[in-house]
């Protein structure tokens, strides 16, 4: 027997041969293309089972001497010089493995599949998705990050796309759909280049060069937006662009104004910083979307602890407590034996005295409203009402902090520490009832330090309120980004088309294979305006090519897709703006993820049973 065969890598101990209906015998040769399969038995193998080894054959039918891999991967075994097998990959029969171009194509198709789901949600005419969670909750949204979060993606490359959308959401807050669509388009283009035989690393390098070009070009075509505390119109226009793609676009003007005023109320214009934690977004089912309002203060979803307490307090001095209105409890285990009525009376008087002292303490420092993190029993409630001291109980910790920030008060952990200086001040505290329901909420307005505001959303159902909250969050993030960096580019696909033209023109300067990747990147940038046109019911290829020709002819980078059918392609006239940092982040993040996916050439995953 050929010593080459006995020294071969044996990958399977038993194999069913599919290419021949006959049962193979030891020593039989089966020619398949440029290879020959020899059925043999390893001399040192104890179980004497047949093994198939594949050997390369040259044209003169002499063996090359290099051993090719067998088609079955049930177990990766190799033999040492004594013929003893040893394992290379443990439990390989329970793993799936994809190598080389197959792995890249599988990864690309997974990424493209995720991006196609979001493609129809892009732009002002984008469709919404309805997602049902395992416990039956329904979410209707067209926010890219929310769709991918709730889709429960299982594929690892799909999860990369989810994280891509999430990082855009965390950093910028807007453009979560566009970034995934762009990444999907880049992957589609990369697949075409891989089929031509271009190495994935060269493709990735070309994409990296192109993304730098695109980001620099965006910087060149951007405009500075001058605004001030008195002139907020530019901010409102940009927020309206963000809201136009949401379900709330019929009220986009009023919601954009609310978002901008809320951001300006808490913004530090000197440091160009905005703390969005100071803007509380509350929602209540009922009313209509137009009833949404901005409150320069805090809205708490609680009511007064006693129905006979006053419903409106002007010039309120608020004691913010985290200690309960109840007698102190010993830390150790204790037992009280009461065997006479007198002892019970004494105990009751003692408790009443505790409550009396607590309420009196609050009255003495001049508090006209008590907000307590804990509850208090009926006796304390009754005493508070008789002493004419309104109180609110069971207020959450986050809300307490916001109330303290807004009113300039201090949170007091013990009654002994309560002083006049620690009281918060508010111009008006009122309890408001809604419709015919028993729902009541507490408004704390005209605060001493109005650095905390509340956006109070009304809507027909819970899903509408949740989607409005997400839309308002996007608008708040856009306003914050503009305060940090007031550069804008024009939306409606105008910026992408302009970048595409610039990248295409620069491709000829690169002599290597990279120029193919750079041209592919320019084609991928066209995917966003193409999706916008498609979702708006226009002819995508005709529309995009017409806008591209117009941009080149007029050298006007404001021409975009006329999604709303207003009759003009000029995005300046339509007031469609996007933040520069948001658009740059989209291109950079999408390119990074695509580079990562292209660099994977071997996927080893546990097989599913």
pLDDT band at 502 (very low <50, low <70, confident <90, very high): very high
Say what the pLDDT of residue 111 is. 92
Higher pLDDT, 130 or 324: 130
User: Tokens at residue 131, please?
Assistant: 């997602």
pLDDT above 70 covers a percentage of the chain that reads: 85
Say what the pLDDT of residue 116 is. 92
DSSP codes joined into one string, 372-409: ESS-B-HHHHHHHHHTT--EE----HHHHHHHHHHHT-
Q: 41-55, 401-415, 484-498, 566-580: which has the minimum mean pLDDT?
A: 41-55
Q: What is the DSSP code (8-state) at residue 127?
A: P
Catalytic choice (169, 474, 526, 562)? 474
pLDDT band at 217 (very low <50, low <70, confident <90, very high): very high
Higher pLDDT, 408 or 18: 408
Say what the pLDDT of residue 399 is. 85
CA 230 to chain centre: 33
Say what the pLDDT of residue 608 is. 65
Answer yes or no: is pLDDT of 443 > 50.
Answer: yes
Answer yes or no: is pLDDT of 339 > 60.
Answer: yes
Distance of alpha carbon 224 from alpha carbon 278, whole angstroms: 27
Higher pLDDT, 258 or 330: 258
The CA distances from residue 580 to 224, 372, 437, in Å, are 10, 45, 46
Q: What does pLDDT average to over the chain? A: 81
State the average pLDDT over residues 434-458.
81
DSSP codes joined into one string, 4-52: HHHTSPP--SS---SS-SSPP-TT-EEEETTEEEEEE--TT-TT---EE
Any residues with CB less than 8 A from the CB of 384 and at least 6 apart, and which?
305, 306, 309, 325, 359, 370, 376, 390, 391
User: Tokens at residue 189, please?
Assistant: 């283009």
Task: State residue 566 phi and psi, 5-degree precision.
Answer: -90, -10
Distance of alpha carbon 239 from alpha carbon 206, whole angstroms: 34
Helices 156-171, 580-598: inter-axial angle, 10-degree rounding: 160
Any residues with CB less than 8 A from the CB of 540 and at least 6 apart, and which?
530, 531, 533, 534
State the average pLDDT over residues 383-401.
86
Cβ atoms within 10 Å of 44's Cβ, excluding its own: 12
State the average pLDDT over residues 281-305.
87
Higher pLDDT, 483 or 1: 483
Distance of alpha carbon 202 from alpha carbon 512, whole angstroms: 9
Distance of alpha carbon 184 from alpha carbon 112, whole angstroms: 5
Say what the pLDDT of residue 155 is. 85
Distance of alpha carbon 118 from alpha carbon 122, whole angstroms: 7
Is residue 475 within 8 A of residue 333, CB to CB? The reply is no
State the average pLDDT over residues 412-436.
85
DSSP codes joined into one string, 130-199: EEE-TTS-EEEE--HHHHHHHHT--SHHHHHHHHHHHHHHHHTSS-HHHHHHHHHHHHHHHHHHHHTT--
pLDDT band at 584 (very low <50, low <70, confident <90, very high): very high
User: Tokens at residue 449, please?
Assistant: 């330090």
The terminus-to-terminus CA distance of the chain in angstroms comes to 40
Catalytic choice (176, 368, 407, 543)? 176
pLDDT band at 352 (very low <50, low <70, confident <90, very high): confident
Say what the pLDDT of residue 191 is. 93
Is residue 498 within 8 A of residue 529, CB to CB? The reply is no
Q: 78-82, 103-107, 589-593: which has the minimum mean pLDDT?
A: 78-82
Q: Say whether 143 is catalytic.
A: yes
Q: Say whether 177 is catalytic.
A: yes
CA 301 to chain centre: 27
Any residues with CB less than 8 A from the CB of 601 and at least 6 apart, and which?
99, 100, 103, 104, 200
Any residues with CB less than 8 A from the CB of 270 and at least 6 apart, and which?
none
Say what the pLDDT of residue 205 is. 92
Higher pLDDT, 91 or 322: 322
Say what the pLDDT of residue 77 is. 61
Distance of alpha carbon 255 from alpha carbon 288, whole angstroms: 13
Q: What is the pLDDT of residues 2-37, one digit of tens each?
A: 333 333 333 333 333 333 333 444 444 444 444 444
Q: Say whether 176 is catalytic.
A: yes
Cβ atoms within 10 Å of 247's Cβ, excluding its own: 18
Task: State residue 150 phi and psi, 5-degree precision.
Answer: -90, -5
Say what the pLDDT of residue 68 is. 35
State the average pLDDT over residues 540-554.
91
Report the run of H or E that residue 603 belongs to, with start and end: strand 602-606
Which pTM value belongs to this model?
A: 0.77
Q: Say whether 340 is catalytic.
A: no
Catalytic choice (120, 141, 177, 238)? 177
DSSP codes joined into one string, 423-489: -EEEEEEEEEE-TTSS-EEEEEEEESS---EEEEEEESSHHHHHHHHHHHHHHHHHHHHHHH--EEE
Catalytic choice (40, 139, 141, 143)? 143
Say what the pLDDT of residue 500 is. 93
Answer yes or no: is pLDDT of 386 > 90.
Answer: no
Q: What is the DSSP code (8-state) at residue 418?
A: -
Distance of alpha carbon 336 from alpha carbon 348, whole angstroms: 13
């Amino acid at each position: 027997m050929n010593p080459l065969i006995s020294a071969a890598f044996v990958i399977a101990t038993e194999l069913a041969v599919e290419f021949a209906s006959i049962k193979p015998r030891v020593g039989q040769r089966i020619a398949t293309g440029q290879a020959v399969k020899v059925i043999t038995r390893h001399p040192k193998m104890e179980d004497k089972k047949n093994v198939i080894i594949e050997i390369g054959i040259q044209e003169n039918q002499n063996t090359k001497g290099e051993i090719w891999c067998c088609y079955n991967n049930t177990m990766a075994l190799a033999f040492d010089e004594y013929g003893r097998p040893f394992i290379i990959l443990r439990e390989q029969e329970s793993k799936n493995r994809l190598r080389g171009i197959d792995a890249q194509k599988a990864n690309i198709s997974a990424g493209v599949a995720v991006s196609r789901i979001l493609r129809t949600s892009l732009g002002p005419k984008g469709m919404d998705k309805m997602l049902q969670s395992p416990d039956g909750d329904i979410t209707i949204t067209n926010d890219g990050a929310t769709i991918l979060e709730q889709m429960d993606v299982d594929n690892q490359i799909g999860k990369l796309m989810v994280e891509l959308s999430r990082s855009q959401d965390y950093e910028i807050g807007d453009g979560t759909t566009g970034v995934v669509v762009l990444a999907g388009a880049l992957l589609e283009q990369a697949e075409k280049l891989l089929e031509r035989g271009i190495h994935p690393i060269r493709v990735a390098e070309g994409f990296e060069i192109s993304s730098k070009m695109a980001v620099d070009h965006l910087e060149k075509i951007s405009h500075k937006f001058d605004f001030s505390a008195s002139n907020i119109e530019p901010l409102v226009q940009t927020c309206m662009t963000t809201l136009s793609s949401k379900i709330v676009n019929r009220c986009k003007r009023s919601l954009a104004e609310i978002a901008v005023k809320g951001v300006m109320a808490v913004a530090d214009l000197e440091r160009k910083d905005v703390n969005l934690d100071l803007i509380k977004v509350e929602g209540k089912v009922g009313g209509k979307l137009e009833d949404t309002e901005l409150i320069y203060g805090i809205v708490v979803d609680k009511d007064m602890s006693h129905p006979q307490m006053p419903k409106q307090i002007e010039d309120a001095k608020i004691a913010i407590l985290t200690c309960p209105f109840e007698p102190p409890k010993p830390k150790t285990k204790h037992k009280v034996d009461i065997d006479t009525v007198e002892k019970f009376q004494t105990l009751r008087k003692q408790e009443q005295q505790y409550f009396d002292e607590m309420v009196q303490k609050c009255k003495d420092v001049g508090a006209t409203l008590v907000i307590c993190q804990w509850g208090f029993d009926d006796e304390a409630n009754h005493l508070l009402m008789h002493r004419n001291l309104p109180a609110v109980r069971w207020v959450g910790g986050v809300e307490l902090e916001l109330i303290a920030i807004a009113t300039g008060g201090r949170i007091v952990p013990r009654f002994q520490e309560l002083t006049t200086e620690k009281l918060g001040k508010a111009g008006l505290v009122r309890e408001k009832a809604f419709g015919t329901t028993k729902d009541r909420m507490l408004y704390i307005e005209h605060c001493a330090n109005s650095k905390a505001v509340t956006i109070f959303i009304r809507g027909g159902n819970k899903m509408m309120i949740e989607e409005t909250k997400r839309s308002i969050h996007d608008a708040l993030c856009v306003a914050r980004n503009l305060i940090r960096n007031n550069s804008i580019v024009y939306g409606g696909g105008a910026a992408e088309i302009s970048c595409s033209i610039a990248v295409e023109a620069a491709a000829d300067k690169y002599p290597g294979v990279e120029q193919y990747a750079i041209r592919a990147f320019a084609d991928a940038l066209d995917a966003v305006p193409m999706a916008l046109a498609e979702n708006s019911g226009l002819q995508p290829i005709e529309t995009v090519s017409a806008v591209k020709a117009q941009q080149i002819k007029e050298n006007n980078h404001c021409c975009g897709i006329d999604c709303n059918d207003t009759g003009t392609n000029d995005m300046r006239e339509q007031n469609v703006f996007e933040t520069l940092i948001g658009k740059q982040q989209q291109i950079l993040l999408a390119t990074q993820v695509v580079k990562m996916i292209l660099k994977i050439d071997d996927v080893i995953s546990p097989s599913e049973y």
